[in-house]
Chain A
């Protein structure tokens, strides 16, 4: 029972990341009709916003390390700690939560620049052209990050207060069942973001116009509504969602320049399984595939089907597409 609970929780927190990336991806496809292969790069850029904020907060003074006698070595003490002592240390400790606030405007600007600067020129082109140009853009962004931050992953820790594990067994009456705080926070955070996006689309006039535009862009345009401008903003929102998913993921996985590509392929599978353009489908498929991947990694499963953990997502995608060619919640 406890093993199953753990795998479900693990699948949900993985699924949270898949769902957040897939949500933005399918939002852009549903509104602009663009297959955006640079969406994974937005996730990665979000993570690097956290890295940059951490870097800024830890700008340090070099002090000679007297314990090293073989050569001149230096210890680095952040100025924030030198100036403000414990308060400075606490601010540095909260680098990731602070990054969430910074990432919202930064990712919005990046999203708008990407859409206005490049993607809009490809609205009326084939999907193949869109894939090529956005994939190229993803590689360019990746290389810029690599040139500036190096190829190695950069550890970015969660605040010390939530770096450990929570005794969730107490809730279910199971002794010794623990789960990391930050992963549970990631799950709650992803649900909150998904909820906010759905609320925005369903409970605001802006969202209503966007949804109307997704169904029939021409008619909405004939009503005198500048649907293109709204879609541009939707692109910015998708960038924010991907970026926030990236920021929050940094304590789980130290970011490197390639992390976007690692998630992009999985997220495309999620979008396709959910149904291209279906927001609910993307979210459902994200959580479903996360949980399946988690269960497939269990020893009992791997001992019967070795290697199943690495192919389960693709296997399920094949089966679902055979049974429902338009995905789980895709419309004919």
Chain B
């Protein structure tokens, strides 16, 4: 009996030992394999592929075309070609002009068509078929949020291009997503004091709003800040993205009693709605004893170009303008201008900066592993990129920097001198808590 028991114990011990040894032997290749494929699209050979996902058609095609120009320029500079642009001014910087981590940078492009489903399909193709290690682009917050979420699931980094909705780094923030561009909360905070100074506290506003996440976000922020000033909001009307003819939404404004029209439109939509608002004589009107005013909270030089003389004297905010005199801006404008014959837009600027920031983070982390790259970007403080001292806030992956309040230039010195900087609002005036009500979100964890 005893003998039998001992025999059984030995057998159990042998079994456990054998199992452990088998597990170890069987698991060893898995460990090696894990190292071999530590993360999605780990670059093999001498090149690394970036995916540029921009709108080449649709309401934001102008911005998309300029974004793509900037990306191509950034790749040139990363690979040590051209004059180096902002690589001469960025501080601190780990880039060496030999690609990223010694690998030559190549790229693939996609057309988001300014549609979330098309943008996701395009990003998926770049990740799965082209082996893109990072996706960047945007020009629509709806697109940016959709692609950011896809990149989180796919295990690659998303460096957002032009996306202005609070949600991108608010409730829809992701561990793998980073935004250099400012947002509607910052636009509202920067614009409100100027609107008060120029138009006073007793105003009645009428909003026309692009009916998607960015439009809602901007309408909310501008309403919040202008109502705090004492302004009354007469109506906020949603218009479909890419509506083209906005006349049926503008005619009700004419006799609504409002004396300010806030156009929460961007790109082609803003050019059309502003042009049509001017055609309907809104800027010549006098309502409530005051001159009627139009405000375009998010402005860009490309839009100003499209809207022509209609933009003169109209206030808005912008992330960056080519007329800035700091060394970083000048280096970028010089480089971009020499390449394409005209200055870059704010969309081009943010995309160029994002590409350099990603590359720099890889160098800092010493790896392309998205967890390492995200770690290097979180809390990263830098300067020399055109916006003064800037910080990638770790809690929501939003960049904090100064914001420009601009107005359509009434005395242009050149064909490109379309926006006049009215105020550089310091970072401290536009900063908010990362867990502010209506803004809080969950980054989630790294997926590699």
A binding-site residues for B, Cβ under 8 Å: 2-3, 6-7, 9-11, 13-14, 65, 67-68, 70-75, 146, 151-153, 155, 157, 163-165, 176-180, 182-183, 252-254, 258-259, 262, 293-294, 297-299, 302, 306, 309-310
Q: Are A178 and B333 in contact (CB under 8 A)?
A: no
Contacts of B338 in A (CB 8 A): 71-72
Q: Are B280 and A297 in contact (CB under 8 A)?
A: no
Q: Considering only CB atoms, which chain B residue lies closest to A76 in the complex?
A: B415
Contacts of A157 in B (CB 8 A): 308
Q: Are A294 and B235 in contact (CB under 8 A)?
A: no
B binding-site residues for A, Cβ under 8 Å: 56-58, 61-62, 65, 235, 237-238, 240, 244-245, 247-249, 251-252, 254-256, 268, 271-272, 275-276, 279-281, 284-285, 306, 308, 330, 333-334, 336-338, 341-343, 413-417
Q: When the two chains form the complex, which single residue of A70, A165, A177 contacts B279, counting CB atoms closer than 8 Å?
A: A165
- A6 with B237, Cβ < 8 A, contacts A67-B413, A71-B334 known: no
Q: Considering only CB atoms, which chain A residue lies closest to B56 in the complex?
A: A151
Q: Are B245 and A6 in contact (CB under 8 A)?
A: no
Closest 7 CB pairs of A and B: A71-B337, A165-B281, A297-B248, A67-B414, A178-B281, A6-B251, A180-B279
**Contact sample, A vs B, 18 pairs, CB 8 Å cutoff:** A6-B251, A67-B417, A71-B333, A71-B337, A72-B337, A73-B337, A73-B415, A151-B56, A151-B58, A152-B65, A180-B281, A253-B272, A254-B268, A294-B251, A297-B249, A299-B235, A302-B238, A310-B240
- A253 with B251, Cβ < 8 A, contacts A73-B337, A164-B279 known: no
Contacts of B337 in A (CB 8 A): 68, 70-73
Q: When the two chains form the complex, which single residue of A6, A152, A297, A306 contacts B255, counting CB atoms closer than 8 Å?
A: A6
Q: Are A155 and B280 in contact (CB under 8 A)?
A: no
Q: Are B334 and A70 in contact (CB under 8 A)?
A: yes
Q: When the two chains form the complex, which single residue of B247, B249, B268, B330 contacts A153, counting CB atoms closer than 8 Å?
A: B268
* Cα–Cα distance between A75 and B414 once the two chains are bound (Å): 9
Contacts of A262 in B (CB 8 A): 244
Shortest CB distance B235–A (Å):
5
- A70 with B333, Cβ < 8 A, contacts A3-B252, A262-B244 known: yes
Contacts of B240 in A (CB 8 A): 310
Contacts of A177 in B (CB 8 A): 254-255
* Cα–Cα distance between A74 and B334 once the two chains are bound (Å): 15
Shortest CB distance B275–A (Å):
8
Contacts of A179 in B (CB 8 A): 280
Q: When the two chains form the complex, which single residue of B255, B272, B306 contacts A2, counting CB atoms closer than 8 Å?
A: B255
Q: Considering only CB atoms, which chain B residue lies closest to A182 in the complex?
A: B279
Contacts of B235 in A (CB 8 A): 299
Interface centre among B238, B240, B245, B268, by most chain A C-beta atoms within 10 angstroms, is B245
* Cα–Cα distance between A152 and B249 once the two chains are bound (Å): 23
Contacts of A3 in B (CB 8 A): 251-252, 254-255
* Cα–Cα distance between A179 and B250 once the two chains are bound (Å): 11
Contacts of A253 in B (CB 8 A): 244-245, 272
Shortest CB distance A315–B (Å):
16
Contacts of B271 in A (CB 8 A): 153, 155, 254
Contacts of B244 in A (CB 8 A): 253, 259, 262
* Cα–Cα distance between A179 and B61 once the two chains are bound (Å): 30
Shortest CB distance B278–A (Å):
9
Contacts of A298 in B (CB 8 A): 252
Shortest CB distance B408–A (Å):
16
Q: Are A299 and B256 in contact (CB under 8 A)?
A: yes
Contacts of B237 in A (CB 8 A): 297, 299, 302
Q: When the two chains form the complex, which single residue of B247, B306, B414 contacts A65, counting CB atoms closer than 8 Å?
A: B414
Contacts of B279 in A (CB 8 A): 163-165, 180, 182-183
* Cα–Cα distance between A72 and B251 once the two chains are bound (Å): 44
* Cα–Cα distance between A180 and B283 once the two chains are bound (Å): 13
* Cα–Cα distance between A293 and B62 once the two chains are bound (Å): 29
* Cα–Cα distance between A179 and B65 once the two chains are bound (Å): 35
Shortest CB distance A174–B (Å):
9
Q: Considering only CB atoms, which chain B residue lies closest to A1 in the complex?
A: B255
Shortest CB distance A185–B (Å):
12
* Cα–Cα distance between A176 and B280 once the two chains are bound (Å): 11
- A70 with B330, Cβ < 8 A, contacts A152-B61, A253-B272 known: yes
Contacts of A176 in B (CB 8 A): 255, 285
Q: Are A7 and B251 in contact (CB under 8 A)?
A: yes
Q: When the two chains form the complex, which single residue of B247, B251, B281 contacts A164, counting CB atoms closer than 8 Å?
A: B281
Contacts of A152 in B (CB 8 A): 61-62, 65, 268
Shortest CB distance A307–B (Å):
8
Contacts of B285 in A (CB 8 A): 176
Q: Are B247 and A183 in contact (CB under 8 A)?
A: yes
- Give 20 A-B pairs besides A73-B342, A74-B341 with Cβ atoms closer than 8 angstroms: A6-B252, A7-B248, A14-B247, A65-B414, A71-B338, A151-B57, A152-B268, A153-B271, A165-B279, A165-B281, A177-B254, A180-B280, A183-B279, A253-B244, A254-B268, A254-B306, A293-B248, A298-B252, A299-B237, A299-B252
Q: When the two chains form the complex, which single residue of B65, B256, B280 contacts A178, counting CB atoms closer than 8 Å?
A: B280
* Cα–Cα distance between A151 and B330 once the two chains are bound (Å): 30
Shortest CB distance B239–A (Å):
8
Contacts of A74 in B (CB 8 A): 341
Contacts of B248 in A (CB 8 A): 7, 10-11, 14, 293-294, 297, 309
Q: When the two chains form the complex, which single residue of B56, B61, B306 contacts A155, counting CB atoms closer than 8 Å?
A: B306
* Cα–Cα distance between A297 and B248 once the two chains are bound (Å): 6
Contacts of B275 in A (CB 8 A): 155
